Amino acid sequence: MKTSDDFEVLRTIIENAKGGIVTTEQLLHEAEVREMPFEFADLLTYWKKRQLYVSQVEQTTDGYRPTIRCTWTTQYQQNYFGFSPDLGAFEINENTTNPINALLDASMALESAAVCITAHPSGKEFAVGTLNGTIVICSIEQGKIIQTMKANQSRVWALAYSPTENILVSGHQNGELVKWNRKGNLLAKVTTDDWVRSIDFSPDGKQFLTSHRLKDHTKANIYSWDIESFTSISPFIHVSETAWCLRYLKDGNGFVSGGSDCKVTVWSFENKEILWSKKKHTGTIVTLAVHPFGGIVASGAWTGAVKLWDLENGTDVRSIEAHSARVYGIAFSPSGRILATGGKESTICLWQLPECAIISRFIGHSGWVRGLQFFDENTLASIGSEGMCKIWRLSHSLPVTIQFQTYKSSQEVLNEFRRPLDSDDEQP
């Protein structure tokens, strides 16, 4: 372990460099000139002691660590990574007064990779679907697994709780739909034509929608279902081979879908009419989230891009290059003022709305972030392909959090998002 005097010399070297930034090679060379036996391992120690920040991190079997090719600084700089025992590596942003604005509250190991997540309407628990067909029920308050159930060995690709009853519906890769009660008892099962990709309940809880992968383009790949009889009511033919995701609109009169055609499509249940369909993404759309007050829907694609759409006219009112690879997790906070996104590169991002300014970016998992779910303004659950489920508490001390005011209506949401961004509020 180096002495504090040695670190002060190191600090001086960095802070005297241009922009206060030094490469690993330069730093070790300068230390050698001064006959100070610094090694790369010593720099890693200082990073973990939160004395240094780095431009690049890489995933290892022991978590994330700086790369040998990174640059180092002693000051907060945009796009630089610090270290926290709770978060591991997290990105420092110039508009964030406190770089750690999410704290790990609980971490739960699953039997296999997590695939999907849904929140119970009570807000006290959530269900996670996994690669080996197991459904895991987790308690928000206790931060632990409280129940598991399994209908078959097929991957659980989709889950949804009824908003009015203690009913859970699971969709599987083998095409099965399964209806469960709160105690984990299997109530009904039906087999569809192909892989179930998404499930969502109507606001009144009487019906639900499913989307599917279908190889036969002449068949429907979206269906509405009656929850009581557990039978199909009406088919919808999506234009893509796979309808990856769908969500009911807040008024229950229609829904929005996305898929391998790279289009966001809004449907009306009246005459099964398409109100609008727009292609602005350049990759498959795999996740959607409707704003809690309506008016806006967010879409995430394989390219890492996230777009926010005006539900009335189909205008893409915001576009964010959120992640370097696939966006699988996307969720609005209850106030509608925070958008959380999760990507294949293991990061979770929090964006302030309507500006879409980055609040925080941190590495929350060692695998892909496969799903996100808010429970209140300060509680977020995430699931990862490495088989971990985590609960995060957003910091109460951040001004950006405590100043948020809840929207009052969908029209207020639309008015804010339709207003052009000021030059000082340009999107990242």
pTM for this model (two decimals): 0.79
Mean pLDDT computed over every residue of the chain: 87
Do residues 126 and 238 both lie within one domain?
Answer: yes
Do residues 77 and 111 both lie within one domain?
Answer: no
- Inform me whether the pLDDT recorded for 393 exceeds 50: yes
**What is the model's pLDDT at position 74?**
87
Q: Averaged over 267-272, what is the pLDDT?
A: 89
Do residues 109 and 175 both lie within one domain?
Answer: yes
* 236 in any annotated domain: yes
* 352 in any annotated domain: yes
- Inform me whether the pLDDT recorded for 177 exceeds 70: yes
Query: Each residue of 44-98: pLDDT tens digit?
Result: 888 888 788 888 877 676 667 888 888 999 886 766 787 876 556 666 554 444 3
Do residues 112 and 74 both lie within one domain?
Answer: no
- Inform me whether the pLDDT recorded for 423 exceeds 50: no
**What is the model's pLDDT at position 87?**
56
Query: Which CATH number covers residue 53?
Result: 1.10.10
Do residues 41 and 126 both lie within one domain?
Answer: no
* 67 in any annotated domain: yes
Q: Using a CB cutoff of 8 Å and minimum separation of 24, what contacts does 340-347 make? A: 340/372, 340/374, 340/380, 341/300, 341/306, 341/372, 342/369, 342/370, 342/371, 342/372, 342/382, 343/304, 343/368, 343/369, 344/304, 344/368, 344/369, 346/59, 346/384, 347/91, 347/323
Q: Averaged over 303-319, what is the pLDDT?
A: 95
- Residue 47 φ then ψ, to 5°: -65, -45
* 91 in any annotated domain: no
Do residues 38 and 166 both lie within one domain?
Answer: no
**What is the model's pLDDT at position 424?**
44
Residue 1 banded pLDDT, cuts 50, 70, 90: very low
Tally the domains of the chain: 2
Range of the domain at 17: 4-84
Q: Which two tokens stand for residue 164?
A: 């009015």
Query: Each residue of 399-420: pLDDT tens digit?
Result: 333 345 678 889 999 999 998 7
- Inform me whether the pLDDT recorded for 99 exceeds 60: no
Query: Each residue of 205-255: pLDDT tens digit?
Result: 999 999 998 776 666 689 999 999 999 998 887 666 788 999 999 999 999
* 93 in any annotated domain: no
Do residues 216 and 155 both lie within one domain?
Answer: yes
Query: Each residue of 20-37: pLDDT tens digit?
Result: 999 999 888 888 888 887
Do residues 214 and 263 both lie within one domain?
Answer: yes
* 108 in any annotated domain: yes
* 427 in any annotated domain: no
Do residues 268 and 346 both lie within one domain?
Answer: yes
Do residues 62 and 111 both lie within one domain?
Answer: no
Q: Which of 24, 51, 84 represents a domain boundary (last residue)?
A: 84
* 90 in any annotated domain: no
Do residues 79 and 110 both lie within one domain?
Answer: no
